[in-house]
Structure 1
Amino acid sequence: METIKQKQVAELVKRNFSLVLQDEGSYIYGATPLVTVTNVKVSPDLSQSKIYLSVYNTENKQEVLLEMEEEKSRLKQSLAQRLRKLVRRIPDVDFYLDDTLDEMYRIDAMFGRLRADNQMGEEE
């Protein structure tokens, strides 16, 4: 169960890290991939944050995350500049791939094939 403070800090990190990616992202992983922050989870002591990212316009999504891991200190520094007057301690950041939308498209395509093969049963 997340506390109110955890939710507040998570929302601050989410909004500000999105802005950091707009400013710094093209220098790190190039202009082609589109990276969005989908969710942020903050630890109870507010020292760690897990940032979940969706990556589009590229086949190798893991490579984008690896490039971001290499530039982690630069990204955290940019985030710290935005958050320094809002929170006491800047949380450490860890990046995770959020593949929820990819999974949704895969399941939708599977249902589409089942409908095309008339294996879904009678629609009423």
Structure 2
Amino acid sequence: MESLRQQKVNKLLAKELAEIFRSESRSLFGGGFITVTTVRVSPDLSSAKVYLSIMANKDKTLVFKLIESQTNVIRKKLGLIVGKQLRIVPELMFYIDDSLDYAMKIEELLNK
């Protein structure tokens, strides 16, 4: 069960990371459409699991590798934004959220 503080930090990080991905998508990630679906921060707020959905791009793994290689840059930009609200900017771990693809596949199978 997440504490109220964790829930607030999750929302804050999701909002600010989404803005970073929106504004920096062209320069850092080759113009892919990246959305932050979920953020889960650890109880001590030192690490965060960020689940991303990558759309409108042929090679999702390439875009994901670009994101992983830019983790330090993303964390620094995040720190500049939330530095006054959080004492420690959490370490970011990115994961691909394929639940939308899975839902579309199930929908397609049900319509056959």
* TM-score w.r.t. length of structure 1: 0.87
Report deviation, 1:103: 0.3
Which runs of no fewer than 5 residues in structure 2 stay unpaired?
Answer: none
3-state SS of 2:61 partner? helix
> In the alignment, which residue of structure 1 is the partner of 2:18?
18
3-state SS of 1:89 partner? coil
**Native 8 Å contact 2:10 2:39 kept in 1:** yes
Instruction: Choose 1 or 2 for highest CA Rg.
Output: 1
1:81 matches 2:80: yes
> In the alignment, which residue of structure 1 is the partner of 2:30?
30
**Native 8 Å contact 2:34 2:54 kept in 1:** yes
- C-alpha root-mean-square deviation of aligned residues, in Å? 0.9
- What code does the residue aligned with 1:97 have? I
Report deviation, 1:59: 2.7
> In the alignment, which residue of structure 2 is the partner of 1:48?
47
> In the alignment, which residue of structure 2 is the partner of 1:111?
110
Which runs of no fewer than 5 residues in structure 1 stay unpaired?
Answer: 114-124
CA distance in 1, matches of 2:10, 2:25: 20
Report deviation, 1:30: 1.3
1:72 matches 2:66: no
Q: How many residues align?
A: 112
- What code does the residue aligned with 2:4 have? I
> In the alignment, which residue of structure 1 is the partner of 2:7?
7
* TM-score w.r.t. length of structure 2: 0.96
Report deviation, 1:2: 0.6
Report deviation, 1:37: 0.4
> In the alignment, which residue of structure 2 is the partner of 1:121?
none
Moved runs in structure 1, 4+ residues, more than 4 A? none
Identity, in percent, stands at 31
